[in-house]
Amino acid sequence: MSGGYVLCEYSKIKEYFPEFKDTMDALEASLRSKAEADWAPLRYGGIYPQSNQFGKTTILPGLFVGMGSVQLVSWNQWLTATGHQTIMQGRGTGATIPEDYMVGLAGLAFLDTIRVSEIKMQISDKKLPRMNIEEAMAYEKPAIIFENGYVLDEETGFDLYGYVLSRGPQRIKLIGVQLNRVPNKLQVSNTGAAIA
């Protein structure tokens, strides 16, 4: 079934959802194939890319802005309004993923008190259906793992909307892999600094 997802404890993904490895492997393979085609003649260099290679890392928050269009330097943000809100989007012009980056999105995790009862996403012109996640409030650190991951291409729009129940701190972490065409952009910046 396309567009399916699983709710689970973030700390128990590997234990209770062994298919997650298959999902991540397929997502990364798809992302790498796209990057090799789009960024040729660069080749995949993994975590430690060399000259003429693109690199890989976990998804970094600096590619996104949170509520109020503030660039994220960590997954922490403050939800300032209730009701239907844009809670995260690409930080490039027009809410896009910045040039030279591609993201493979396998899911997301709420790392503290969950203040959102529904989410929905839009990737480019594709609107994904609403997900009622009230059930996730029973979990300590709930995660939503997508049956099939999503590729967020460079310069492609990304919006994450939520129905916010209460104002306050919220840590929403995107789960997946990120490819970087110019790894030096990541290596020369300080930890916690905004990605240029």
Q: What is the mean pLDDT of the chain?
A: 90
pLDDT over threshold 90, residue 153 = yes
pLDDT of residue 194: 57
Over residues 157-174, the pLDDT tens digits come to: 999 999 999 999 999 999
pLDDT over threshold 80, residue 188 = no
Tell me whether residue 81 is exposed, middle or buried, using C-beta atoms within 10 angstroms of its C-beta: 0 to 12, 13 to 18, 19 or more. exposed
How many Cβ atoms are within 10 Å of 31's Cβ, its own excluded?
A: 24
pLDDT of residue 14: 77
pLDDT of residue 41: 96
Contact in structure between 153 and 102 (CB atoms under 8 Å): yes
pLDDT of residue 19: 80
Tally: H helices and E strands in the chain: 3, 13
DSSP per-residue string spanning 44-94: E-TTS--TTEEEEESPPGGGEEETTSPBPSSSEEEE---EEEEEEEESBTT
Q: How confident is the model at residue 190 (pLDDT cuts 50, 70, 90)?
A: low
Within-domain flag for 156:
yes
If one compares 55 and 22, the residue with the highest pLDDT of the two is 55
pLDDT over threshold 90, residue 30 = yes
Residues in the chain: 196
CATH of the domain at 75: 2.60.120
DSSP per-residue string spanning 106-132: EEEEE-SS--EEEEEEEETTEEPPPEE
pLDDT of residue 28: 95
pLDDT of residue 89: 97
Over residues 8-19, the pLDDT tens digits come to: 888 888 777 778
Contact in structure between 104 and 177 (CB atoms under 8 Å): yes
Within-domain flag for 56:
no
Within-domain flag for 152:
yes
- Range 72-81 average pLDDT: 93
State the total domains in the chain.
Answer: 1
Contact in structure between 156 and 96 (CB atoms under 8 Å): yes
Distance CA 153, CA 35 (A): 9
User: Nearest-5° angle of CA 109, CA 9, CA 176?
Assistant: 40
Within-domain flag for 137:
yes
Which two tokens mark 26? 């397929």
Within-domain flag for 42:
no
**Residues paired with residue 179 on neighbouring β-strands, in sequence order:** 56, 102
Q: Which domain holds residue 158?
A: 5-15+61-175
Within-domain flag for 184:
no
pTM of the model: 0.90
Within-domain flag for 96:
yes
pLDDT of residue 2: 54
Within-domain flag for 65:
yes
If one compares 194 and 89, the residue with the highest pLDDT of the two is 89
Rg of the chain's alpha carbons, rounded to an integer? 16
pLDDT over threshold 90, residue 23 = no
Q: Give percent of the chain with pLDDT exceeding 70.
A: 93
